[in-house]
A and B are shown apart, each in its own frame.
Chain A
Amino acid sequence: KAGVTQTPRYLIKTRGQQVTLSCSPISGHRSVSWYQQTPGQGLQFLFEYFSETQRNKGNFPGRFSGRQFSNSRSEMNVSTLELGDSALYLCASSTGGLAGTDTQYFGPGTRLTVL
Chain B
Amino acid sequence: GQQLNQSPQSMFIQEGEDVSMNCTSSSIFNTWLWYKQDPGEGPVLLIALYKAGELTSNGRLTAQFGITRKDSFLNISASIPSDVGIYFCAGQRWSGNTPLVFGKGTRLSVIA
Contacts and interface: CB of A to CB of B under 8 A. Distances in A.
Interface of A: 4, 6, 31, 33, 35, 41-45, 48, 50, 55-56, 58-59, 90, 92, 94-109, 111
A100 B102 contact: no
A28 B70 CA distance: 32
A83 to B, nearest CB: 20
B42 A50 contact: no
A108 B97 contact: no
Interface of B: 1, 3, 30-31, 33, 35, 40-45, 48, 50, 88, 90, 94-105
Contacts of A111: 40
A96 B96 CA distance: 5
A44 B1 contact: yes
**Sorted from nearest, which 8 A-B pairs have the closest CB atoms?**
A102-B96, A106-B42, A45-B99, A43-B102, A102-B95, A42-B104, A108-B42, A106-B43
B102 A42 contact: yes
Nearest to A10: B40
B9 to A, nearest CB: 11
B96 A94 contact: yes
A106 B100 CA distance: 12
Given A42-B104, A100-B50, A90 B97 contact: no
Nearest to B105: A42
A58 B1 contact: yes
Contact of B43 (A58, A90, A97): A90
Given A44-B1, A58-B1, A103-B48, A109 B41 contact: yes
B97 to A, nearest CB: 6
B35 A56 contact: no
Contacts of B44: 106
Contacts of A50: 97
Nearest to B6: A42
Given A103-B33, A103-B48, A108-B42, A55 B100 contact: no
22 contacts: A31-B97, A35-B100, A42-B102, A43-B43, A44-B1, A45-B100, A48-B99, A55-B97, A56-B98, A58-B99, A59-B1, A96-B96, A96-B97, A97-B96, A98-B97, A99-B96, A100-B30, A100-B50, A102-B95, A103-B48, A104-B45, A106-B35
